[in-house]
Every structure is written in C-alpha cells, then in structure tokens.
Structure 1
Amino acid sequence: MEDGDMLANAAVVFPGMGPTRFADAGKFLLLDPVARRLLERADKRLGYSLMDEWYGMEGDYSEYAQVAFFVSCLAMAEWAERELGVRPGVCVGASFGERPAAVHAGSLSFEDGVWMTAALARCIDAYFAEQHGDVVTQSLARTPRAGLEEALHKLAERGEWYDISGHLDDDFHMVSVRERNLGWLEEAVRRLGGLPLYAMRPPMHSRLFEDLGFRAEEEVLDRLAFEPPVLPLVLAQGGDVVRSADGVRAALAASFVSLLDWPAALTTLRQLGTETLCVSGPDSLFSRLSSTTNGFQVITASPLNVLRPRRQPTTS
C-alpha cells in the first residue's frame, strides 16, 4: 500500500486528557505558528490571556489546562494534515477528546469550542464542590477484567459503591470509587498483578453524575449552535457513529455518565475501513494501548514530534 493511500484511509483521534501541566504543551503553543494563531482567537473569545492564566496555575485539570489541551489537540491535527498529508475520513474523540473532535468534525466553530471547554470546566468544578466530592476515578493497567470484577463484587458486598467507568484495553480499566476505598482498590489490583496508575479528580464517566449531564446541557450546551458534522464522528461511548447536530450535543452531555469503551470505538473504525489512526494531542496513553496498535498504523502528532525538525510520521 502506498503511503498516500494509507493516510487517506485515516481517522484523527483526539485523546482523553491526562494530567496536563504548562511544561507539557506550553512550548508548543508558544512556538508553533498554527497554535499561536489559535491562541490569539482563544484569548479573544475568553477575554483573557490563556497562557498568562495557565502559567503557574496549580491543578492538572484547571479551566486553563483544559482549554490549552483543547487548543493543542486542534493545532496538532492541523499540523498532521499539513505536514504529514493525513486526510481523515472520520473523527474520534475519547472522553475529553470529544470536545476538540466536535470542532474538527465541523459541528462547532473553534470559538464556540473554546467557550464550551472553559464553561464546562467551571460547571464541573461547581458540581463537584456541591456533590460527590469524595469520588475519584482510578486508572488500572495490567489488570485482568475477570479478577477486577470479582474484587469489585467483594467491595459491593461490604455495602460500598463503585462504578466501572471505562474499558480501554483487555487489561486497562477505569473504576470510580469513594476516596475512602481507593487504598483498598489499589491493593486489590496489586494482588491481581495489576498496576494502579492515577486517580482522576474530578471523576468522570459514571451514572452517578446524571445531574451533571443535565446541568451541562442547560448551562452550556443548549447555548451553542451545533451543525451536522462534516466528518462522521465515532463515539468512544460505545462505538456509535454520529452524523447529526443533535447527536453531537447529546454525546457531549452523555460523556459525563457513559462508560468509556475504547475497543468498541476501534471496532467501528475497522468496520468503516480505517487503517491509520492519527492521535492528535498531548498523549501518553491512547496511542500506546495494544487495542490501538493492533491492526492499525498509528501516527502521533504530539508536542515533541511537532516541534522536532522532521517531516516523517512517528509510527508505532
């Protein structure tokens, strides 16, 4: 297969957001010409300097970190199209990645996407200041699914709440628990030979947060003008393909409560004939999962390789 054909049968993937600090993406945003132009547009829509506010700000998921991640994802996708010739026929967003995906797919303007990202961050902060402040979402690697489910059943027998928030691979999962049970969960996973990674605060992807979805719709999403996406949008909430404006709006609201099912999204991409995945944005997870690399050519458009003076794709 010719490289041009490979890149034509591509999907652009916007990853979920991990802990994001100024040092991770700040240099890219300041040096890349496309990113700088997007920053100017973002600042105008926000009414403040994103980089000034983000610099020195504590918190991996602050409003400013979230908007910076959003801008980085879109700038890197433009870089991949311009420099690598990636011509995506479909767009995918995993968790937070659904926000830049909605813009890249053509359902929202960039300015509306910036405002939405900042407004949702404030909405989430307000919600968890009032409700469920003791819940965290823990990422677990190298953990067999059957063993994890058996351990969680024991937790439920003690009258404790949990929710499985995501499956990213056969042995990579996300589980939401009360913070008082986090140590118990980590120890149970280690006994299974698994590796607890990081606990996400604020938590996400649980049926417990249904009110947050309603609040996000009322305070943020219903104030935006969505358009039918130009690129089909594949959801990591189960692999559905969204082609309508209402579908995009509903998906963004449902992302707070719906289980993240990355293998289901990959199955849909295979059915659509996708052969190459271009993971666009700061990412240390989705481009490395075996579920992602098995059966796909993977290109990463990340801060490091975007700034590196080279024109060849980084593949895995």
Structure 2
Amino acid sequence: MRRDALYFPGLVPTKFSAIEDFLRTSDHARARIEVADDVLGYSLLDAYAEAEVYDWEVYESGFLVLTLALADWALDHVELDPVLCGGQSFGAIIAAVFSGALSYEDGLRLVRASAAVELDYFAAVPEPLGCLFFYRLDSRTVDALVADFPGELEVSIYLDDSVHAVSGTLADLQLFEDRVRESGGYPFYTMNRSEHCSTVRPLRDRLETEVYDRVSWNSPKWPMLSDVSGRLLTDPAEIEEDLLDGWVTPVRWSTVVEGMRAARAEHAHIIGPRNMFARITNNALPTDVITPKKVADHPSATAKRVHR
C-alpha cells in the first residue's frame, strides 16, 4: 500500500449553512456531536447556528467536530495507510486528537479553556492586536514590506508563495493593508488577535500552565508532523511543547511539505471543510481533499439516500 499523510488545515471560519447538512445527516458527525454536547454542556449545533465569527469557543469546537467526523469517514471509506498525521495552526490540535495524543474529551476541554485564556489575554493588551491575511504577493515582497514598515509587524503565515498573514496592532495593520494594496496584494480577512509571532509569548506561557499542563498527553497512533520544525514527533511531552510553540513560530507550508517528503509520504489527504489547501501540496506529491462535498458525492451517500 502507498504511504499516506493525513493533514488538517488551520481554522477557516465557515458559515454553519455551508456545513449544516453534513453535521446533521452524517453518522460520524452525530457521534462526535453527542460527545461534544456532553462535554461542553450545551447543544453545539444550536450554538454554531447562532454564532458570530468571533465566538471562538463555538467556532473552534465546531471546526474540531466537523473535521474529526470527516477523518472518521475517511478511515471507513478511503483506502488509507497513514505514516504520519499533522496539522497547520489550529489543525495541529485536531491532529493531536485524531492521532490519540489527546483524548477527544480532553481536546474539547483544551479548546474551551484555551478560548477563555485567549479572550482574557487579548482583552488586556495595551493596544488591540490582530492578524491580516492577504494574497497575490510573493514572500520576498512581503518580507520587504514588513521590514520597511515603521511599526512593529511580524509575518505569521507563509502559506505558500502567494498567501500570507502579518500580525501586529490593529492600528498598524490598517496602515499596512494600504501598502499591501499599493503593492498589488489583496487583503481578505483581519482577525481580532495575533498568532504565530513572538509578540504573544506571554499568551503561549499562560496556555502552558493554565490549560495544556492540565490535560493528559499520550503517545500518538501515528507520528505527528510538526508545522514548527517539520519533524515527526511521538513523545507526548514534545507534542505538547510543539503545539504551544506554534503560537510564537511563523507557519511555513514549505516546512510541512519538506517534512512529508522526509517521511517518504506518497500521498497527502487534506481533511477539512474547504479544498483550498489541495493546490499547495499538489506540486510536491499527489493530493486529495476530504470535504463534506466529497462525502455527499461518495457512492455510499447515494446508496444511503436511495435506501431511505
């Protein structure tokens, strides 16, 4: 059998209407939701349906449930021989749960507790922080723009050579957004918190003592590919530290691709609600996506609808 890499993208806020059908009709989703409702103490579907984009606990819990359910489906319906499991940014937490480094229940508790600490931290900083996402500029241009900017900005994400994110104060990011446009770039999203940058080191340290050290970490079923170093991790303590260090280390998709190559992965399966990540690894190794649409179009779903 071929050597497969299972990979979970970072959180992209997704409207409930776009994924509602999968969450309500999939047996895999219903099983995940039942546990989530019990751990969280409320109906996650009801909360997700009413959530705003910055309701972090609900959006992150919903994304966790959705993505894990897609991965559960893939194990049942796609011929897989995983040699590694990994994730980018928030996706690394999903990978930790799916690989068994964290129990599902502890993963939900970690998401809830982390959201509370993050909200407290960002509410207390002297100036509001954010993260600006944009595309159509190459990495060299982005680095030059940041270096020439008079404020204190850091590049947080090099998703490929055209999609980037920069963190800093919201005031500086508003000015930087103009420079991105003037240089031919296209800003498309500003998040109300910074991430993957040295500025949030105090948050990383708070999360370690207040959240991550209070859940149990285990040896994973498959080695976890670090999006920080590109290394394969199997030691529970290393996995915990790696997830925390993701807060203060820029995401570089090239690091992930190089890690897949080093592990001799032959095929990548990108698991999540959207397929935008497929094009990134396609140049390195064959890639397919596991999305709600793929589930809906699968023969098993057609047979199930006919049976009903």
TM normalised by structure 1 equals 0.90
Percent of pairs with identical residues: 30
* Structure 2 residue identity aligned to 1:29: L
> Separation in 1 of the partners of 2:144 and 2:249?
22
Q: CA deviation at 1:185?
A: 1.9
Structure 1 residue 283 corresponds to structure 2 residue 274: yes
Among 200, 208, 213, the residue aligned to 1:209: 200
- Name the SS of the counterpart of 2:50 in structure 1: coil
- 1:10, 1:278 within 8 Å by CA — same for their partners in 2? yes
The Cα of 1:108 is off from its aligned counterpart by 1.1
Matches within 5 A, 1:86-105: 86-105=80-99
User: Does the CA contact (< 8 Å) of 1:239 and 1:261 recur in 2?
Assistant: no
Distance in 2 (alpha carbons) for counterparts of 1:55 and 1:133 = 31
How far residue 88 of structure 1 moved from its aligned partner, in angstroms, is: 1.4
The answer for the alignment partner of 1:181 in structure 2 is 172
Determine the structure 1 residue equivalent to 2:287.
298
> Deviations along 1:220-257, whole A, 9 cap, x unmatched?
11111101212110111231221100011112211211
SS at match of 2:11: coil
The answer as to 2:205 corresponding to 1:227 is no
Aligned match for 2:148, one of 126, 147, 154: 154
User: For residues 10 and 275 of structure 2, what CA distance do their matches in structure 1 show?
Assistant: 10
1:170 to 1:238, Cα distance in 2 relative to 1, 3 A:
farther
How far apart in 1 are the matches of 2:300 and 2:253?
29
Equivalent residues in 2 for 1:35-54, closer than 5 Å: 35-54=29-48
- Normalized against structure 2, the TM-score is what? 0.92
Superposed, which structure 2 residues align to 1:1-316 within 5 Å?
Answer: 5=1, 8-131=2-125, 134-155=128-149, 158=150, 160-289=151-280, 292-310=281-299
Q: CA deviation at 1:17?
A: 0.5
Across the aligned residues of Structure 1 and Structure 2, the Cα RMSD in angstroms comes to 1.8
The offset of 1:135, in angstroms, is 1.6
The amino acid that maps onto 1:101 is A
Q: Does the 8 Å CA contact 1:20/1:60 hold for their aligned counterparts?
A: no
Mind listing any 5+ residue stretches in structure 1 that lack a counterpart?
none
**Counterpart contact for 2:230–2:255, Cα < 8 Å:** yes
Amino acid at match of 2:244: A
- The superposition leaves residues 118-164 of structure 1 with CA deviations (integer Å, 9 ceiling, x where unpaired) of 21122211111112652211122121222222222221xx3x11011
- Matched residues in 1 for 2:264 and 2:55: separation? 35
By how many angstroms is 1:293 displaced? 1.4
| Distance of 2:99 and 2:164 partners within structure 1 | 28
> CA 1:274/1:133 → structure 2, altered by over 3 Å: closer, same or farther?
farther
Q: Does structure 2 retain, via aligned residues, the 8 Å contact 1:15–1:283?
A: no
The alpha-carbon deviation at position 284 of structure 1 amounts to 4.5
> Cα deviation per residue 1:96-115 (whole Å; 9 max; x = unaligned)?
00111001112111111111
AA of the residue aligned to 2:197: S
CA contact (8 A) 1:240 1:268 kept: yes
Listed one character per residue, the Cα deviations across residues 44-95 of structure 1 (whole Å, up to 9, x for unaligned) are 1122211122221212452111101001111111111211112311001100
- C-alpha separation between the residues in 2 aligned to 1:61 and 1:261? 27
